[in-house]
Amino acid sequence: MACSVYECLALIGARITENRDYLTDLDREIGDADHGANMARGFAAVVEKVPRDNPDIGAALKKTGMTLLSTVGGASGPLYGTAYMEAAKVLAGREALTAEDFAAALTAAVAGIQKRGHATRGEKTMLDALIPALEAYTARIAGGGSLSDGLDSACAAAREGVAYTKTIAATKGRASYLGERSIGHQDPGATSAAITLEAIRDYTKG
């Protein structure tokens, strides 16, 4: 798939901005009430700093990661920044994306988040959306599905993961201070991860 990486990143930013207040409200219940505002500010900087006319997907993702690291506060900046920078390593020099390329990039992003956050599935974090999404994506393309098919499956699994976060207690970050009282609340990081995947899916569908 040919890819204007700038346009895709701009769409992710637009979706995050549209959901800024929603994400902040989710974070208000179990965190610092700043996830939506921080992510919207970060992607506003991404749209400003990533070159519009450079077709190198890896270069754009590296710039995105560095920008998020420097502009997004709390845990989200390091985690999202690491995810984009790890994906950038896999896609360096690429100007088009295959289904297998995206699988490799998402695998690297998830591994980067796990290493940076010392986290895994079941701890009420963005990984509760991203790990099921990765599993669903790879299973779909292994069965012969296209990039678009894989993203459909990934997004559905991510949303199931978001719903799952309501049923478990947080063990990472500020939300962990609430312990069992965090049960019943949806994780904002998992939600923004699902929104990101849905934006990528929608971009690929035109």
State how far the Cα of 130 lies from the Cα of 111, in Å rounded to an integer.
Answer: 10
Query: Cβ(58)–Cβ(91) under 8 Å?
Result: yes
- DSSP string across 81-107: HHHHHHHHHHTTT-SB--HHHHHHHHH
The full set of domains in the chain, from first to last, is 5-205 (1.25.40.340)
Q: pLDDT tens digit string along 98-136? A: 999 999 999 999 999 999 999 999 999 999 999 999 999
> What confidence score (pLDDT) does residue 73 get?
78
Q: List the one residue out of 155, 54, 73 whose CA is nearest residue 106.
A: 155
pLDDT band at 44 (very low <50, low <70, confident <90, very high): very high
Q: List the one residue out of 138, 149, 128, 111 whose CA is nearest residue 191.
A: 128
The stretch 51-66 carries a mean pLDDT of: 95
Tokens of 84: 């984009």
pLDDT of 176 strictly over 70: no
> What confidence score (pLDDT) does residue 51 get?
92
Judged by DSSP in three states, 2 sits in: strand
The stretch 169-187 carries a mean pLDDT of: 75
φ, ψ dihedrals at 183, nearest 5°: -65, 140
> What confidence score (pLDDT) does residue 74 get?
81
